[in-house]
Structure 1
Amino acid sequence: MSAPRTFRIAAIPADGVGAEVVAAGRAVLDALAQSSGGAWTFDWTEFPWGCGYYEKTGRMMDEDGLKILEGFDAIYFGAVGWPSVPDHVSLWGLRLRICQNFDQWANVRPVHFHPGVTSPLRKADDTALDWVVVRENSEGEYAGLGGRNLSGRGPGNEVALQTSLFTERGCERIIRFAFDLARTRPRRKVSSVTKSNAQQYGMVLWDEVFARVAEDYPDVETESVLVDAMSAKFVLHPEELSVVVASNLNADILSDLGSALAGSLGLAASANLNPQRRFPSMFEPVHGSAPDIAGLGLANPIGAIGSAALMLDHFGLADEAARVRKAIERTTASGVLTRDVGGTAGTDEVVAAVIEHLA
């Protein structure tokens, strides 16, 4: 018998309910590994980074944290943020530091409607809805360019500049990623989202690159939609969507809207990918740290478990990823739901049900 394939995973629970949902996902993955017959396993290393670490050290992660993480096959992340630390400090000090330095330029956020979960969208009652938001994750509105100036002129005179960055290379690689993903889906369609009527430089460049790349994919339907119109389309005509590709900010907002339509942000999974695999990719639920329910065992672990399935896909374990997704479906369909989606189950109950349904 050959030696088991071992995946080295860096676990960063970070803040609030992050600890609970990362533990939930780990339990599901370890149960799956145990059923592999020794074919593969996980080697976990957990790091205490986050707002609590910041309050002790003045840093969100170790100074050499990126160097440490480079040696792992993937990163499994919880949630970042706590009331005692400004959000821009916590986000830029940990999550964005990892994403940007590891060039995790493709953020994949599926919008999936689970059986047994009531959607606020009436159309979901009798229409099959399922799409994925592809978010440019390295530049755009979150490039971190700009500054605050002229404060020396006295109160009321300070100026803040926040500059978006759009490069032809950055636009092309995320748009091609979206087209390649569309070729794997039942409906081969890519919807590009910009606001190029008002943002006449960066987003016009995006539009031009999208039109050029589309010529290489004659088998894929395309449309270009302004972000305000796409927000309406998410609600009014979501059945027309398959792959939605957008800039960092626009895709961030639209994916949250999609998850809310599916029932809860607690259901939403995501993958921050470095497709070239020069650096480890990071997998995390979309929801925040939820300080109001942290430590109470009420957090919805479905987003984190779905993110674990995306990690399995990344490792080439497509059948195992499908097993996890099927177990999630069976769990929600059986009525084992947390409070955010109308149920009464706690985090541990959902985890136990998912593991039971892995068989």
Structure 2
Amino acid sequence: MIRIKQLVLLLLVALTISSCVNKAQKEDILVYSNPLPVQFGDPYVLLASDGLYYMYGTGGGAVDGFCVYSSPDMVNWKAEGQVFRGNVPGSWGVANFWAPEVYERNGKFYMLYSADWKENPTNELENFRIGVAVADKPTGPFKELSDKPLFDPGYPVIDGNLVDDGNGRTYMYFSRCCYKHPVESEIAEQARKEGKFNEIEESWIYGIEVKPDLTDVIGEPVLILRPPVKLDDTQSEWESRSVTTGEVNRRWTEGPYTLKKGDTYYMMYSANYFGGKNYAVGYATSKNPLGSFTKSSDNPVLQKNVEQGGIVTGTGHNSVTWSKDGKQMYCVYHGRTQETGDERVVFIDKMGIDDNGRLYVEGPTTTPQKK
């Protein structure tokens, strides 16, 4: 009888331990669905040294500046309010605050952002430049480093993005706007023949070295990426959809996000009209931070899925973040769905770089995802 009681007791203990383990495992599995309840364009996620994720973006209710959300797990997000405001006395930027990115460097947090420069003697309709603001915390308040932009190339620029080469040098990538930048190509010639557009303006990505303290640039901008010139270019079809569908007389190469793996630089970029359904993401690679870069034959790696029965369009201007153990990469981007209409909302999907150096994104998804 005693032995039977002991066996029963051991069985109860085992069942209790198994139940606790199963409960713990279930609690560790976080599930989310896209799109997230965040109305940002151009989302950027920073995993800070305090162990929290911080998401910055364009819009989201901010007035002349930017808001931020925080999260311990990239599933549950908390609105932290506005962390930067421009268009105040001493500001260089006065309107159209776009595409913030925040970097933790030497105990400080530096924000790169785009805005309309108040110095506009010729009354240009697009007068964007890139500036830097700094804060002691990721939740701000961020204050401008200077009363002028980081640099003035003589044409409107947006979408600043930084990468460190691992040897103490920092590089910035940015997009020259399409504004007053007509470019001849076989695509432009075809558009004229078809009666769609008389000219095609283009946005190009450039790179330039910057001082480590982000107070100035070093040297002159170097052209990194541009839309294809020839119709038979393998990238031409997907990068020209806004033109070939008659949507708009512009081709974009914008929203650069660059990461380094091993000795290779991976630059993700967005093409097509940012306000339309054809916005999509490709990538290019190089062994040097200022190129030359070669576009991947796998492009686009992220695009609309309505032709496959999905509901997502306008996927683009992405950033990349990692799990806290550094093992899983995530692509953070904005898009639209049939339910959200023209409002840009945030998506997060797993991504990676395989053993052959091929970058891929497992999206866009709208079904429940395990983090």
**Max radius of gyration: which structure?**
2
Higher share of residues assigned helix: 1
Using CA pairs under 8 Å that are at least 6 residues apart, name the structure with larger relative contact order, 1 or 2.
1
Same-fold call, TM cutoff 0.5: no
TM-score by length of 1: 0.30
